[in-house]
Amino acid sequence: MGFKTDKQTLDDLNITGKYKAHSLFSLFNDTHTGGGEKLLELMFQQPLSDALAINQRSDVFKFFHNKKLSFPFNPSTIQAAETYLGEGTAHSYVVVAGGHLRKKFLQMAMKDEHYAQLQSGLLATIDMLKGLQQFLALLEGHPSTELFETVAGAFSGDTMKWLRELRIDQPLRLLQLARYDHLIRHVLRGEMENILRFIYHLDVCIAVSNVARDRNFSYAQALPKGEHIFKTTALHHPALKNGVANPLHLHEEQNVLFLTGANMAGKSTLMKSIGIAVYLAHMGFPVAAKEMVFSVRDGLYTSINVSDNLNLGYSHFYAEVLRVKKVAEEVAEGRDLVVIFDELFKGTNVKDAYDATLAVTKEFSTYRNSFFVISTHIIEVGEALKTACDNLQFSYLPTIMEGSVPRYPYTLQAGITSDRHGMIIIENERILEMIDE
């Protein structure tokens, strides 16, 4: 069973999407090859749910992070080799040589381009193999993975012995061409597939680790499920270059973070940072957090931008109720989840929102195996929850008034805040004066 999430969550956190501005995918997508991009996409679509696999992948990224390598291939070489390897060749060497002879004849007689294409494809492939052979020397100490061992084994063993001894004339003679063509595309077909996969893997690793180095990301350590821990000393939003970092510690005894703060104090950003860190960590990717350790979860659900679907006849409130219901069903299944609710029940009147937030938070908080981050404008709920439950962490994002201008430090403090300055914002915009004129 994989790590579960849904479209609402991916949209809230702006995770996938190649053409979306500032999506996490486009943040990391520094790949050079089409295959690399596809592999990256796949990783984004399928986060892992096994601590061992997560740590293994993040170890690989860490290795590249420290090595500071850049992608050694020319993308067009890879593309030419891909095309060449994509076409099959005949089983027997004699038939291959015969076919090439025909092509060469056609080239001479009718300026046919197949022979030239074949030749440049083969040369590009040999180029790529030689490049990889050299590059492998730099990968001393690469964490042991199946793919790496297979490829490295092939290059150091007998399978690729010919490559070390290869001396080719330019242009290739017909018989040479036929021989290597038959070798690469028929005899070593399986090896070539692995090699291409390894190159895509290299592409992704180098791209991701370079982004991580640039932005000073670090790697989270995955713990087995049962420990129920999420801990980091400094967490910020990966898309913000100078984001303010905050520590965070959730565990079985304190599995609910109850967040308050004025408008624009940064509640939503903090919640998104948490969600994104959880998601990236489960992909084994670098996170915008320091010293992060986390127990593997079964899924992540957020509710940050629930829109009213009036076309379907849902009011905003009802849309929220349905969203909470969906999450409640997942939680009730006994899964270990991370759940993030931003301004729960904002689409209704105060009393209803108070009752609903209180009742729902109370019930959710009894599931100690899941983590909840809940923000609200109704601070009175916090006081009631303080007496009702003992496993809530109360934090707030402060606002400091400098004269009539609010300033936001974005650093998390313990407690509940009643900060508000909505009227000040209205006054600063001078709206009332405009109407009165």
Partner 1 sequence: MSFTTDKQSLEDLNIFGKQGGDSIYNIFNRCTTRGGAAILEELFRYPLADYEAINKRSGIIQSFALAGTSFPFKSSDFDAAEAYLANTDERSKLTVQENTVTRKLTNMIAMDIETQQIYKGVESLVELMKNAQELMQALNGHPFYKEEKEEIRTILNDPAFAVMYESKGKLSHAQVAAFDVILRFRHRNLVEKLLQHIYYLDVYLAIAKVANDKKFVFPKALPAGQSNLLKLEGVYHPQVKNAVPNNIHVTTDNNVIFLTGANMAGKSTFMKSISIAMFLAHMGFPVAAQQMEFAVLDGVYTTINLPDNLGMGASHFYAEVLRVKKMAGELQAKKDLFIVFDELFRGTNVKDAYEATIAITSAFAKKRRSIFLISTHIIEAGDVLKEKCNNINFLYLPTRMSGHQPVYTYKLEQGITGDRHGMVIINNEKILQILQNGKKQLRKTTAYGI
Closer CB to partner 1, 127 or 355, in the complex: 355
Query: CB 132 → partner 1: shortest distance, Å?
Result: 41
Dist. CA 252–CA 20, nearest whole Å: 37
Query: CB 263 → partner 1: shortest distance, Å?
Result: 4
Query: CB 271 → partner 1: shortest distance, Å?
Result: 11
Our CA dihedral for 270, 276, 281, 285, rounded to 10 degrees, sits at -120
CB 356 within 8 A of CB 348: yes
String marking each residue 63-92 x if it binds partner 1 according to CB under 8 A:
------------------------------
Closer CB to partner 1, 305 or 411, in the complex: 305
From the list 128-136, 258-266, 290-298, 391-399, the region that binds partner 1 by CB under 8 A is 258-266
Closer CB to partner 1, 92 or 309, in the complex: 309
Closer CB to partner 1, 284 or 406, in the complex: 406
Closer CB to partner 1, 390 or 429, in the complex: 429
Query: CB 302 → partner 1: shortest distance, Å?
Result: 12
What is the identity of the amino acid at 353? A
From the list 40-48, 219-227, 381-389, 414-422, the region that binds partner 1 by CB under 8 A is 414-422
Give yes or no for residue 426 binding partner 1 (CB under 8 A).
yes
Q: Look up residue 149 and give its DSSP letter.
A: H
Determine the 3-state secondary structure of 169 from DSSP: coil
Which residues lie closer than 8 Å to 205 by C-beta, 6 or more apart?
A: 60, 61, 64
What is the identity of the amino acid at 314? Y
Long-range Cβ contact pairs of 185-193 (< 8 A, separation 24 or more):
185/84, 185/85, 185/87, 185/88, 185/89, 186/89, 186/90, 186/91, 186/96, 188/159, 191/154, 191/159, 191/160, 192/85, 192/125, 193/85
Query: CB 343 → partner 1: shortest distance, Å?
Result: 8
Query: CB 431 → partner 1: shortest distance, Å?
Result: 5
Give yes or no for residue 233 binding partner 1 (CB under 8 A).
no
Query: CB 212 → partner 1: shortest distance, Å?
Result: 23
Residues within window 337-396 making contact with partner 1, judged by CB under 8 A: 343, 345-353, 355-356, 359-360, 363-364, 366-367, 377-379
Angle (CA) 162-132-151 rounded to 5° is 75
Dist. CA 113–CA 236, nearest whole Å: 55
Which residues lie closer than 8 Å to 363 by C-beta, 6 or more apart?
A: 328
From the list 170-178, 194-202, 227-235, 423-431, the region that binds partner 1 by CB under 8 A is 423-431
